[in-house]
Amino acid sequence: MNVPILKILVNKDQFSAVNKILPAHEFPIWLAAWGQENLEIVGQSEERHEIESIEEEVQRMVSTHGVQNLQEVFGASYKDGIEV
């Protein structure tokens, strides 16, 4: 399964912003952490994020973001709630 990779701009404060590149299905996690007013999608990469196994992708997201963050964003049954 191929997922688009987004290019986003994270406005940390009025004086600084950071560019990030992330798979589209992780965008809700960033929205929860930074808020809609601090995030802007500025483009899409030509590359795609390849997902061979949903279970492996969920495990990667758990190790990257933590179970608590995934549960807060996608619900207690986050394995079923992650849409790719």
- Give the domain ranges of the chain: 2-81
Please state, in angstroms and rounded to a whole number, the distance separating the CA atoms of residues 25 and 22.
8
CA 38 from chain centre, in angstroms, equals: 14
Where residue 22 falls among pLDDT bands split at 50, 70, 90? very high
Which backbone phi and psi does 82 adopt, to 5 degrees? -75, 120
Predicted local confidence at residue 1, as pLDDT: 85
Where residue 81 falls among pLDDT bands split at 50, 70, 90? low
Please state, in angstroms and rounded to a whole number, the distance separating the CA atoms of residues 79 and 58.
7
Q: Per-residue pLDDT tens for 42-58?
A: 999 999 999 998 889 99
When computed from its CA atoms, the radius of gyration of the chain, rounded to whole angstroms, is: 13
What's this model's pTM, rounded to 2 decimal places?
0.84
Element (H, E) at 50: strand 39-50
Q: What is the mean pLDDT of the chain?
A: 91
- Report strand pairing: 2-13 vs 39-50: antiparallel
